Amino acid sequence: MRTTRLPEGVAVPVLGQGTWHMGERISERALEIKALRLGIERGMTLIDTAEMYAEGGAEAVVAEAIKGQRDKVFLVSKVYPHNATRTGTVQACERSLRRLGTDYIDLYLLHWRGQVPLPETVEAFEQLRQQGKIRHWGVSNFDLDDMLELADDRCAANQVLYNLAFRGIEFDLLPWSIRQPMPVMAYCPLSQGNQMLRHPALLTVAERLEVTPAQVALAWVLRQPGVIAIPKAVKPEHVQQNAGALDIVLGEAEQALLDAAFPPPQSKCPLAVI
């Protein structure tokens, strides 16, 4: 497993596992737990979740998946903006800890900006760090102007939407993050639904390399230094395919074909959010 480093020097996998929409259906629970455990076996030990996902249901699924192997996992969770006050952040974190069945979260993120002033949320994050309840903190869905306003080198990561169909961060946010250096966590690296994965350019590259379109899309995201991808998978074959994307090298011809189909931004774009 390739790794990248947080600003404080901690190495984390560049390929992890997402849990958005997990914990929503009891009938899927056993499959979700099994998929996360398989991912851990394949080295995808970074697991991303949030109190928002199934209103804590995804955190409960993660708790089952990591039971007995917490020390192998780099655990990421997120706090709702409306909970991100001085006291609300601490209380939300404690609820997440109970659902996750652990006494610390490796990386705790502000899910998106709300009405609470950033310094207040940061103060709560630092309090949680001092108490040992979180190891690092960061943000999610922050554009460059948000990061410049935050202006805090204790911020460990920024989680944003990034895939072939949404490349806007490449104009300014991603280059800035690489210079810091601070990892960008790409959520929905395979987009949502299958429309992007059915694009003729992806199909062509996949056929040329004898891999799946999803693997091409994931390898494309992982080509960037300092980018962490967190695809969600429930089917075992999808977990295995995600892990296999690490071995795919896109040549200049493949890169050019994808750039023609999904052009990089030529000017500032509003931050894409799902």
Tens digit of each residue's pLDDT (9 = 90 or more) over 167-217 = 999 999 999 999 999 999 999 999 877 789 999 999 999 999 999 999 999
Q: How confident is the model at residue 24 (pLDDT cuts 50, 70, 90)?
A: very high
Q: What is the pLDDT of residue 172?
A: 97
Query: Domains in the chain, start-ordered, CATH in brackets?
Result: 11-196+224-249 (3.20.20.100)
Beta bridge partners of 184: 158, 227
State the Cα–Cα distance between residues 28 and 54, nearest whole angstrom.
13
Write the burial class of residue 2 (CB in 10 Å: 0-12 exposed, 13-18 middle, 19+ buried).
exposed
Alpha-helix residue ranges (DSSP H) falling in 134-235: 144-150, 173-179, 200-209, 213-222
Q: How confident is the model at residue 14 (pLDDT cuts 50, 70, 90)?
A: very high
Residue 111 annotated as binding site? yes
State the Cα–Cα distance between residues 269 and 171, nearest whole angstrom.
8
Q: Average of pLDDT values for 17-30?
A: 96
Query: Residue written as tokens 């709702």?
Result: 80
State the Cα–Cα distance between residues 47 and 233, nearest whole angstrom.
12
Q: What is the pLDDT of residue 193?
A: 72
Query: Residue written as tokens 């958005």?
Result: 20
Q: What is the mean pLDDT of the chain?
A: 96
State the Cα–Cα distance between residues 4 and 226, nearest whole angstrom.
6
Question: Is the overall model pTM greater than 0.75, yes or no?
Answer: yes
For the cut 80, the answer to whether the pLDDT of residue 57 exceeds it is yes
For the cut 90, the answer to whether the pLDDT of residue 251 exceeds it is yes
Percent of the chain scored above 70 by pLDDT?
Answer: 100
Residue 80 is among the residues annotated as catalytic for this protein = no
E strand map for 68-198: 74-79, 105-110, 134-140, 155-161, 184-187
**Per-residue DSSP letter, 43:** T
Q: Average of pLDDT values for 36-53?
A: 98
For the cut 80, the answer to whether the pLDDT of residue 122 exceeds it is yes
Say whether 112 sits in a helix, a strand or coil: coil
Q: Average of pLDDT values for 1-30?
A: 96
Write the burial class of residue 225 (CB in 10 Å: 0-12 exposed, 13-18 middle, 19+ buried).
exposed
Of the listed 53, 108, 162, 187, which one is catalytic?
53
Q: What is the pLDDT of residue 192?
A: 79
Contact indicator for 65, 36 with CB cutoff of 8 Å: yes
